[in-house]
Amino acid sequence: MKKRASKIIAMIMAASMLAGCGAGASGDSGKSEDGKVTIEFMHDEAEEDRMAVYDEIIKDFMAENPDIEVKQTAISEDGFEDKVKTLISAGEMPAIVAGSTSLMQLLDGEEMINTKANKEVVEERGRDDFYEQVLSLLNAQDGEGMIGVPISTWVNGIWYRKDLFAEKGLNPPETWEDILTAAKTFHDPDNKMYGIMFGTEEGAIAQNNFELFAGSNGAQLFDEEGNVQFTSPEMKETMEFYKELYQYSLPGSNGTTQIRDAMVGGNTAMCVYSSYILAPLYNAEMGEKIGYCVPENTQKSVYSSPSIYTISNTISDEETEAAKKFISYMLTDEVNIKVLHIAPGGPQPVMKSVAENPEYRDADVLQVYGEEIDKIADALNYINVFGTQDGITDSHIGAISNSMIISKAINQILVQDQDMDEMMQIAQEDMEKEISR
């Protein structure tokens, strides 16, 4: 009797344990018992105030669409892409993932995206209203669909102190020559003043800052056959220029914190940064003194990274339709402006109608910068990023960007003072290896 009882106890305990494990493994997307379609929406804006805005948007959407339930999952930006990759490899990709182009390119390479559904959402909103250069970054490898739907985009460029440039009688830093002259003029490290600040750390910022200058010199990462050409004359010329500029910068591995702090603290008159610098400069009451330039050597060029929503191809048809409805809702002027106003100035509109909408322009931050905001909007016409040429994106660029090969080379050449030709050759070979994997 005692033996039998102990067996039963053990079996109940084991069964309850396994039941617990099973419950945790079930997915969040699907049709619930009350007939509602539930979709998971994963993004990287985990700050409390930002999540509150998304909560409100989702609540309004669900009120308009009572048969759909949207579950918001916010992951902090630092661990976001790793978390997405982990979920994917566990077969639990959410219905909608918001992220960068490099992440979506990777997901597209893994055939995890419903490229057709994304394209349908864009076409329903009207292709003509989107900035063409933004859409050109989002073509899928199949040549037909899209890797995601753009909601906003940040753009980098050269931010400079108009007041200090005027004092010294310098031209705005547009051409390489003007940029170098200004950097030399302002560089005074004894008084903690540096000619220019830009990304040199082994991280994404170093690569996208370099792309700004490489693009303005007409350098492309791939040739027409898809071969890497990191050692091309245009690329080397850009690196030479970059090396020269670095002499007038704060030594060391500089990232977003160092660049932003130097600009806000008045330790530099010029920096390369994304549009997310507008808010900190506005908060430091420097907005009126700031100018924006698109650099130009052989052509004008900026780097831009759209925030994209993509629909998973691992969900049911009903969930796909619900996901399309939700993204279309996010593209309506009113809702899109709400998203853009979470951090005014940082994310730029991807639709011309929103950029011209007085309601969008109404934010205090944008008012202070005046005509510079028009220049930023205009910069979207000069987007030029590694891996995308004539609207065709090379399938390996996501893996190359994620592996940080280019930023490592930049850091080695500038900060570690390694031989430029040797480091560029190593980076070239590493990228070739990455492609052949």
Partner 1 sequence: MKRWKKKSPLTMKKKESILGFLLILPVILLIAFVVLYPIIYNVKISFFDVALNPNKPDIFIGWENYIDLLTDKEFYKVLVVTILFVAATVILSTALGLGVALLFNRKFRFRGAARALVMLSFVTPAVSLVYVWKYMFNGLYGIVNYALVDVLHILETAPAWFDNIVFAFISVVIFDTWRLYPYAFMTILAALQTIDTSLYEAAKIDGAGAWARFRYVTLPEIMPTIATIATLRMIWNFYKFDEIYLLTQQLPVIGVYLYKTSFASNDFGMAAAITVILFVIVMSLVFLLRKVVFKKNET
What residues make contact with partner 1 under the rule CB under 8 A? 2-3, 6-7, 9-10, 13-14, 17-18, 21, 81-82, 85, 88-91, 106, 110-112, 189, 192, 201-203, 250-253, 258, 261-262, 265, 267, 314, 399, 402-404, 411, 415-416, 434, 437
CB of 112 to partner 1, least distance (A): 6
263-295 as b/e: b if 16+ CB within 10 A: bbeebbbbbbbbbbbbbbbbeeebbebbbbbbb
Calpha distance 284→287 (Å, rounded)? 8
CB of 403 to partner 1, least distance (A): 5
CB of 207 to partner 1, least distance (A): 12
Nearer to partner 1, 181 or 402 (CB): 402
Nearer to partner 1, 48 or 190 (CB): 190
CB of 223 to partner 1, least distance (A): 24
- Which among 285, 195, 299 has a CA at the least distance from the CA of 248? 195
Nearer to partner 1, 342 or 426 (CB): 426
Calpha distance 265→51 (Å, rounded)? 30
CB of 183 to partner 1, least distance (A): 17
Nearer to partner 1, 85 or 184 (CB): 85
Nearer to partner 1, 9 or 284 (CB): 9
- Which among 428, 431, 179, 209 has a CA at the least distance from the CA of 305? 209
Nearer to partner 1, 19 or 63 (CB): 19
71-104 as b/e: b if 16+ CB within 10 A: eeebbeeeebbeebeebbeeebbbbbbbbbbbbb
Cβ proximity of 171 and 160 under 8 Å: no
Calpha distance 96→285 (Å, rounded)? 38
CA of 251: how far to CAs of 247, 259, 267, 411, in Å? 8, 12, 13, 11
CB of 267 to partner 1, least distance (A): 5
CB of 91 to partner 1, least distance (A): 4
Nearer to partner 1, 9 or 52 (CB): 9
Cβ proximity of 407 and 319 under 8 Å: no
